[in-house]
Structure 1
Amino acid sequence: MNDPLENAEECGAIEQAVRRHRDGHVEAAHDHVGQEWPIALVFNGISHAVMMCTPRDLEAFAAGFAVSEGIVERASDIRDIEVTFHREGVATPYAQVELTIAQQAFAALKARRRALAGRTGCGVCGIESIELLDLAPERVPDTGFLARLAPGAIARAANELPLHQALTRMTGGLHAAAWCDASGAIAFAFEDVGRHNALDKLIGRLVRDRLDATNGFVFLSSRASYELVRKAARVGIPMVATISAPSSLAIALAREAGIRLVSFCRESSYVEYDAS
């Protein structure tokens, strides 16, 4: 088993020896599987979270996590990001991302620190009490984007998404988060073993490049969980489209935030959830 690319930050998949079983026959072959590494997020020298993540686009991931989790209010509160990969002499490869954030943001973080390990699969794992559960999303401003949305935008995004899923084509096992304009054209997309991580990488790209988050929509190759909607609301994204089903809480939060939520998105159909 080896990395197909020399640098971990350029990977996302590894080659694996396999035995294919088909119609009673067994064939030795090689396949690719998506990488999943522990990623330690450290803010101003204090470890805050360990996420299970595909080890690429980690600067975007860290920036998006910091903003979408409310650790910082804006990208300018992040002074520096440094990524270190650890592969030699360790049982499990991992990466550490050290963020230097504004002192005011760091003071607020220390005041409300909580354990967030395992966040990839469960939006509230490690939370200490119900009172700490943040279910009051920001209201997304109405900039007129939804009125400008082309009738075929969702169909176009659904058609284009596979073109932006190189790792998924290779492994069959990663999620994608794509940024789309009013016509449904995909400007860029990120892939990760975790759907939350893929969205954080996309949000990181938006805030680091100072792109207008109110002037586009997110298309996700996953179900719509409450946390995905919550993250979108924090940066003002007006619409979330998903390939699979939403949860009841995702629908409720989208309604409260003023986000248009559409799911079961295909080239010929989708389901929209009423805002009232």
Structure 2
Amino acid sequence: MTLLRPTLQSTPSRSVKNTHFERSTVRLVPEEVPVAISYAGSSHAVLMATPDDLVDFAIGFSLTEGIVQSASQIRSVDVVEGELGIDVQVFLADDVSDRLRARKRSIAGPVGCGLCGIESIDQAMRTLPDLSAVELRMSHASIVAATAELARAQDLHRQTRAVHAAGLYVEGSGLVGAREDVGRHNALDKLCGFVFRSSVAAEKGAVVVTSRISVEMVQKTAMLSCAMLIAVSAPTALAIRTAEAAGITLIALARGEDFEIFSNPHRVGP
């Protein structure tokens, strides 16, 4: 689907170096718009996102946030542009819609813990799939190659230096898919949507991201059934504990030929 809103905008800027004005120039910057994800006509979450790959975004968000258990429970997705933003309308199977409405009715008051669509601390720290039995090994060379291939796939970042990326790397096949967005969670949700729509076997590869690793990034990786997460930046303490408990091999600070393994190191070989 082609949206009216472009992903890129050009804007004038003034270059200053060593405290001296040098010249006027034009720079490309990524667009950022409010994107509502709605179920049965009711908005569930509004996120600031780059306006592309929005069907992947909605499907990935629905799965990684536990709204649906499989892509087959999503009947259709419509992207509707408005004056102020974009409404991505997700139509679910009847039984899933009924459960979602019942969950919303169970809220007694204006509670919230700051995560989109999450109504309690218990939901924020939800139980994840146990991936400890996933048979996956990746060589040092493949881990280095994964971050290098993701960097080469970042067309939007190359033009703007302002967005994150998430990719799926499979040893022997390389980078099988990548998505970009101004938000790191959004980029990962878009990747998850792509993986679910294309029937790629995520358990055979590693998720690779350009950002730091918070607990939500680990949770979304687990919901993708992927047992390895590679990041160019550092993880939080909670992210490490969550990855260890879920059986995910967490690799971070992966830059050039160097990286650090923070959990379940048995999947990494020479």
TM-score by length of 1: 0.86
Tell me whether 1:220 sits opposite 2:216 in the alignment.
no
The offset of 1:12, in angstroms, is 2.2
Q: What is the rounded CA distance, in whole Å, between the counterparts of 2:4 and 2:103 in structure 1? A: 31
Q: What is the rounded CA distance, in whole Å, between the counterparts of 2:241 and 2:6 in structure 1? A: 37
* Long gaps (5+) in structure 2: 108-112, 266-270
Instruction: Give the match for residue 177 of structure 2.
Output: 188
Task: Describe the shift of the 1:131–1:141 C-alpha distance in structure 2 as closer, same or farther (beyond 3 A).
Answer: closer
Select which of 14, 23, 29 maps to 1:33.
Answer: 29
Q: Partner letter of residue 81 of structure 1?
A: V
The offset of 1:232, in angstroms, is 0.9
Q: What is the rounded CA distance, in whole Å, between the counterparts of 1:217 and 1:136 in structure 2? A: 21
Q: What is the rounded CA distance, in whole Å, between the counterparts of 1:271 and 1:79 in structure 2? A: 41
Q: How does 1:119-268 map to 2 (within 5 A)?
A: 124=115, 127-140=118-131, 142-146=133-137, 149-183=138-172, 185-268=174-257
Instruction: Give the match for residue 74 of structure 1.
Output: 70
Task: Describe the shift of the 1:196–1:64 C-alpha distance in structure 2 as closer, same or farther (beyond 3 A).
Answer: same
Q: What is the rounded CA distance, in whole Å, between the counterparts of 1:186 and 1:66 in structure 2? A: 24
Confirm or deny: 8 A CA contact 2:32 2:49 kept in the other structure: yes
Q: Deviations over 1:54-76 (max 9, x none)?
A: 00000000000000000000000
Q: What is the rounded CA distance, in whole Å, between the counterparts of 2:32 and 2:250 in structure 1? A: 29
Q: Secondary structure at the match of 1:112?
A: helix
* Long gaps (5+) in structure 1: 1-6, 115-121
TM-score by length of 2: 0.88
Confirm or deny: 8 A CA contact 2:14 2:21 kept in the other structure: no
Q: What is the rounded CA distance, in whole Å, between the counterparts of 1:124 and 1:243 in structure 2? A: 24
Instruction: Give the match for residue 268 of structure 2.
Output: none
The offset of 1:47, in angstroms, is 1.4
Q: Secondary structure at the match of 1:52?
A: strand
Q: What is the rounded CA distance, in whole Å, between the counterparts of 1:245 and 1:48 in structure 2? A: 30
Confirm or deny: 8 A CA contact 1:9 1:55 kept in the other structure: no
Task: Describe the shift of the 1:160–1:9 C-alpha distance in structure 2 as closer, same or farther (beyond 3 A).
Answer: farther
Q: What is the rounded CA distance, in whole Å, between the counterparts of 1:105 and 1:175 in structure 2? A: 31
The offset of 1:220, in angstroms, is 0.2
The offset of 1:210, in angstroms, is 1.7
Provide the aligned length of Structure 1 versus Structure 2. Answer: 256
Q: Partner letter of residue 180 of structure 1?
A: Y
The offset of 1:33, in angstroms, is 1.0
